[in-house]
Amino acid sequence: MKKVALSLLALFTATLSLSAQDSASRIQTTHIANILDNYRSLNNYFTATSFRPVGGTVGSPYLYDDWGRLWIDSMENKPVKYSMVYDANVDLQKNALIIRAAGEGKAYTPESRYIQAFHLVKNEVATHFVNVDIDGRLQFMQQLAAGKYSLVKAVKVKFERANFVDKGVTQMGHNYDEYKRDYTYFLLKDGIPVKVSLKRKSFLSAIEKDAAASAAAKKFLDSNDASFDEQTAAGLVNAINQ
């Protein structure tokens, strides 16, 4: 049994490595669907999971209410130029990518350490994710801006049951179940994350040792007096990357 398992492991690793290599031919492409067909018994790499739209609640633990279209952008620390396209979603609560296996009504979660970057498209809107090391733990985070500096956000999803209380004079809580999302932002340079908040001073402090980036950030802020929200923060990072 050990020999068989080791043989499958070696073949699986070789398949991943070959798939991620750049090639003039589209034959050598990352094809997770085939890997799923052949290796889903190796639960060290793929874990059977499920996806069901959440009804009767406010919010959702998933990125989408149903399926989006997935492209793998980086695997095994190598860019993937010709990724196949898959039906997929992201379980934000579990921080897991969910890939639908075509034709069998099942879904699988790949081992996250093999995938460094991917993006999904839904209604012509692309959402990019990268795998970020936070204190030795890999975590998929949404990428809002990329370049010398990258802006990413992590999300924590908390489920709260209905907790409405009517005391006659006062009323408290809500009469519905709810998935609440809490976001944390990081500025990445050379893969090193620095926690930032959606405040001008926080971003300026994070880049204060980079004179060119600081100058570009101040120029951007001088010409943008809107409230400093997520969109403005992404615009600032794009500006210092130019």
For β-strands 165-166 and 171-172, DSSP reports them as antiparallel
Could you report the per-residue pLDDT of 99-152, keeping only the tens digit for each?
A: 987 766 678 888 888 899 999 999 999 999 999 999 999 999 999 999 999 999
Could you report the per-residue pLDDT of 32-84, keeping only the tens digit for each?
A: 544 444 444 444 445 656 666 666 788 899 999 999 999 999 988 899 888 88
Residues 134, 186: Cα–Cα separation, whole Å: 10
Of 91, 109, 118, 105, the residue nearest 30 (C-alpha): 118
In single-letter form, the type of residue at position 136 comes to G
